[in-house]
Structure formats: C-alpha cells, structure tokens
Structure 1
Amino acid sequence: MPLDATIAEKLHLLDGITSFDEAFADPEKASRLLAFLNDGNEYAPPAVRHHDESIGSDAGEFSIRVYEPDAQPQRVLVWAHGGGFTGGTIDMPEGDFFSREICQRASAVVISVDYAVAGAGIGYPTLHRQVTAAFMWARAAAPRWSISTDSVALGGASAGANLVLGSVAESIDTRSPLPAQLILAYPTAHRDLQVSAEVEKLTSTLPPMLRFTPAVISSMYAAYANGAVDAPYLAMDNRSFVGFPPMTVIVDEYDDLRTSGEVLAARAHDDGVKTTLRLAPGMLHGHFNRTAAVPQVDDDLAFVAEVLADGARAAR
C-alpha cells in the first residue's frame, strides 16, 4: 500500500532533520517534528485506573505502572516501550496510550515497565533483566486479580521487543518461568541483518530521521552493549527459538526493521513456535506512538486485544 496519506502529506515537516536529538535541540525543528507526530484529531485515551510501584531486583530498582480495568480482569500483559535502548518512557504514547487502550479493550491488567535506558554506565544486561523482574512480579501478583500465574503475557515494541526476547531466551536457558505468549511490535531482533530489497525500495525515499540504517542499528546496539563482550541475549541473530512461547509479530510496512521482524517470525516458525506475523500496511516504524484516531492503529489495537483474549482462553 502507499504510505498512509495523513502521514505522507506531512513528511515535508521533517526536511533538514536527521534525528530526534537534533530536533529537540532546536525550537523550530522541534515544532515541526511535533506537528508531524500530531494526528490532527482530538483524542482522549481511555481513563483507566493506574498506579506506580517500585521493584527492587538484582538488576537495580525501577518502577512499573499498573493499569487496571473496571471490570474483572481476564488477562495480564507486561509491556516494554521502545526508544532505541537509549530513550523512551512509560509516559510516551507507545507506553501510556497503548497500555490504556489494551487495558480497556482486552479487560487486561497492563504492567508497563519503566526500565533503565542505556547510557551513563547502564546497559546490558540490566535492561532485559528488569523486564524479567517485572514479569516475575506480575506472576506473583496475578492471583490478586484471580488470574493464573501461568497466564501472564509479555510484550514490547521496537527495542522493548528486543528486551522481551532477551528475557525469554535467558529464562529458557536458566529454566525459569516463561510467559504464556509474546506480543512483539515492530521488533529489532538482529544486530547484523541486511534489509530486504522489497523493504529497501519502500524506505529509501523516507527522510533520514525515519531510517534504520546499518549505522543507526550499530549505534543502538553498541549503546545497549555498554562494552560487554559476552552478551548472548543482546540480539537474536544466531538464536534458536525452540521452547519459546507462542509469538505474535507486528511489522510496519515502511520500516527498515520490518526485515528483522519478518526474519524473526520465519525462524521462530521453523523452530516449531506457534507464530503469527501481521503487517501494518502504510505505516511507519512505531505506529503505536500514534493514536487510535488513525484507522490502522485502531485496527492493530483491536488485533492485540483479540490475541490476548485468545491466549487467555487457551491457557484456561
């Protein structure tokens, strides 16, 4: 499909901007970037109950935000936002809006993980181990909502999806409890992977700041590695997926990282994992940072809610 029309008509706003850091250092560029990210529609995220809690773990102390539906919860999802390992917060739309929407649509308790981002001496393995600690907290807390400890799902977006994969891979190797299912939105799963010709053709015309070039990906993973040489859960390039839980992978059509998600899904399927791959047509990377006012975002939020419901029914 063509790039979503409401997005395509605003691409010119990114002229001369090469990165988010550059944009927010310049008021004029920051104004143009925010205008690009604005869907142009009034949107009020669901007003669900939520509170923050602090978790102490071997990977350091961090916070989670717990979203609870008004109705009896039917499932639990632990969710990790994206941000290229070095950025992102639980307050960004991909953290907060997504959690509110899924909480309401799926009658789910959503636990958003405020993991420490890479930088200032923080990196591997702290990030993915904090995701693991949040998952274990959710398992222990599940009975308070009358939900089985073995029914907790785990998901993440972009770099957050990578942390989810690293968490599960390490849990398999250490024979620790596993999530009931994985929901991975536009994941970065590979440190060294050539973009497919099909995807390159679509993304080559995008503004530089929307591209995940080899240099950008290398920089992301170097920041996360934080100098670590032995880092088996940093990426999934050579990982077997035998033993992984059922996996749902959503990829954006106009996204260099689409190749990583497609290869991930294919390899997991070949290793015997029940795998679903879904394409978000016309979307750029990170479309869950937009609101449900965008039809494709609305469709994919409904899809995630249904995937969670199907997983919960299968677990009973």
Structure 2
Amino acid sequence: MPLHPKIAEILAILPAPPDGPLDPVAMRAGEESQVPPLEQRLPLHAVEDTVAGEVPVRIYTPVEAEAYGLLIYLHGGAFFLGSLDTHDHIARNLAKETGLRVVSVGYRRAPEAAFPAGLEDCYAVVHWAADNGEWLGWNGETLAVVGDSSGGTFVAALTAMAQDAGFDRITHQVLFYPSLDLDFDVDRYASLRENAKGYGLETGILKAFNAFYLDSGADPADPLVSPIKRADLTGLPPALIVTAEYDPMRDEGELYGKRLAEAGVDATVSRYEGAGHGFVQHFSWLPEYHRVYEETAAFLDRRAE
C-alpha cells in the first residue's frame, strides 16, 4: 500500500537536515524539546526514576497489583540519540497495553561512551531485574526485553549474550524495526534501495547516523554489533520482529526472523504496511499503528511451549 497519507503529509513539511557533520548535542536538544509536559502524558498508576546499579532506569507500573511480569525496554536512536524522556511515551504505552511493569533503561550513548558501554548497561539491567525480583514485585514468570531501532539491536545482542552466559531468565524478545546489520552496503538488502529516499530515514544517512557508534569501537562484523551475523541462533527466546514496509532496514529484520525460525526459535515477523522506520515512536497515535502495542501484549501473553 502507499505510504500512510498522514505520515506522507508530515514528512512533506519536515525541514531538510542541516549541512555538515551531525552534531549529537544539538540533535539531542532538538529531540528533548519535543517531549510533552508531564500532565500531557499517558497516566499510569506510578512512574519512578531510580538506579539499577549504576544505570539510570525509569519504572512504569500500569496498575496496582500484588505481582507483575517484567518488561525491560531499550530505546532507539542510532546509539547516540534517545533518552528516558524522548521515549517515555513508548514505555507508558507498553506498560498500559501489556499490564507488565516496565523498566526503561537510560544506557550510556556514543560517542561519549565507547562500545560496548551501552550494551553492557542494558545487559546489566536485565540481570539486575532478575536479581531484584522481590523488590520489583516480579511474579517470576515473564521477563521480556523490548527495543526499537538500535534498541532492537541491543535486544538481539543481549539475548545472545545471556544464552552464551547460561542466563535463561529472558522469556521473550521484541524488536521494533531493528538495525541488525551495520554493514550498510546497499546491495546487501533490496529494501536499502527500494526505500532509499522519501520515507523519513534514508539509506544515505545510515552511515553518518551510526558513525558515532562504529567509530567508538563497534565492529560491524561482530555479532554483538550486527546480530544477524551470529552463526548459531538456536535456543534463543521467542521473538516478535516488527518491520515497516518503507523502512530501508526492513529486509534485514525479516531475514533475521526467518533465520530464527529456521533455527527452531518461535519467531513471528509482522510487517506494518504504509509505515516507515520509527513509526512506533512517531506515529503510534494513529490507530493503524497503535495496534503494535496490542500485538506486543498478545505475544508477551504467550508462554513458550
């Protein structure tokens, strides 16, 4: 189907990116300036900022209950953008629709923090949640990890890290339009050419956006950087991979889902038609795309056989 008309309308009036090198400080400030005031955000039973070891986290409690499943949320932003505040609305919607207690992770970002600092922060918070289950009111059942874009990269990487370390508490992984192959050769995936221009995130900017991460020591050949390069995917947690029709990174996400399924993993790939990269962050207020939260809730409600 064509690009959703509301998305097309908004993309048509967005200013062109500034010339010259990307300025992470200015870009972060621009993102933060768009965060709505607290009184305009989705209300929940409780939202609390705290620290998991040394990592800032924000805990979202949807309703009062005796115990909860846990969802660890990792925000996107090409490894150098995004924050607890810019993605607060996603965490709130995940909590409301899933009924799980959500722990959003304020991990360290490139370029100030070299690889693998951000990934290690996310992995540490997953362990922290499992180790502090009584304090968090964890029911000992669901422990899901969910991430969008580069947060999805971290989800795939840390589930592999957990498996290699013998940590088997993660029950589900959910990846929203993940970046799984940081080798941006346009001939690797058809979607890098098909969706190269005009849909928001463009193929030509991928290298520049990810340069802060790659220049900090992240090697695209490393499966912890490009999870699709992991040779053995057997035994990983059940996965929901959400892709967008007009995303340059659509095909790598769908290929990863196919490879997971071929390895015997319970893997579901769900493509959202008419959408581009970032639709959960920017366009989930549209009914057609808000259902991504309902789909996530239904997936997390399933227990692996």
TM-score, normalised relative to structure 1: 0.81
Whole-angstrom distance in 1 between the partners of 2:5 and 2:144: 34
Whole-angstrom distance in 2 between the partners of 1:98 and 1:250: 15
Contact residue 77 and residue 152 of structure 1 kept, 8 A:
yes
Contact residue 175 and residue 240 of structure 2 kept, 8 A:
yes
Partner of 1:51: 48
Letter of the 2:58 counterpart: R
**1:174 pairs with 2:165:** yes
Question: CA shift at 1:210, angstroms?
Answer: 2.0
Q: Which is further off, 146-155 or 222-231?
A: 222-231
Structure 2 residue runs of 5 or longer lacking an equivalent are none
Closer, same or farther: CA 287–274 of 1 in aligned 2, 3 Å = same
Pairs aligned (count): 293
Match of 1:62 among 55, 78, 84: 55
Closer, same or farther: CA 307–222 of 1 in aligned 2, 3 Å = same
Contact residue 69 and residue 140 of structure 2 kept, 8 A:
no
**1:197 pairs with 2:194:** no
Partner of 2:103: 111
Aligned-CA RMSD value: 3.1
Letter of the 2:247 counterpart: D
Match of 2:278 among 281, 286, 310: 286
Letter of the 1:151 counterpart: T
State how 1:18-29 maps to structure 2 within 5 Å: none
Partner of 1:11: 11
Match of 1:227 among 217, 234, 244: 217
Closer, same or farther: CA 222–259 of 1 in aligned 2, 3 Å = farther
**1:134 pairs with 2:125:** yes
Question: CA shift at 1:24, angstroms?
Answer: 9.4
Letter of the 1:172 counterpart: Q
Closer, same or farther: CA 221–169 of 1 in aligned 2, 3 Å = farther
Contact residue 55 and residue 125 of structure 2 kept, 8 A:
no
**1:306 pairs with 2:293:** no
Closer, same or farther: CA 291–48 of 1 in aligned 2, 3 Å = farther
Contact residue 195 and residue 256 of structure 1 kept, 8 A:
no
Whole-angstrom distance in 2 between the partners of 1:44 and 1:284: 24
Q: Specify the SS of the correspondent of 1:53.
A: strand
Contact residue 182 and residue 248 of structure 1 kept, 8 A:
yes
Contact residue 85 and residue 224 of structure 1 kept, 8 A:
no
State how 1:135-284 maps to structure 2 within 5 Å: 135-144=126-135, 146-149=137-140, 151-192=142-183, 194=187, 196-197=189-190, 200-201=193-194, 203-206=195-198, 210-213=201-204, 216-217=206-207, 220=210, 223-224=213-214, 226-227=216-217, 231-239=222-230, 240-284=232-276
Question: CA shift at 1:204, angstroms?
Answer: 3.6
Q: Specify the SS of the correspondent of 1:168.
A: helix
Letter of the 2:85 counterpart: D
Closer, same or farther: CA 46–283 of 1 in aligned 2, 3 Å = farther
Q: How high is the sequence identity, in percent, across the aligned residues?
A: 24
Contact residue 192 and residue 237 of structure 1 kept, 8 A:
no
Contact residue 153 and residue 178 of structure 2 kept, 8 A:
yes
Whole-angstrom distance in 2 between the partners of 1:110 and 1:150: 14
Whole-angstrom distance in 1 between the partners of 2:250 and 2:198: 14
Letter of the 1:84 counterpart: A
Contact residue 51 and residue 66 of structure 1 kept, 8 A:
yes
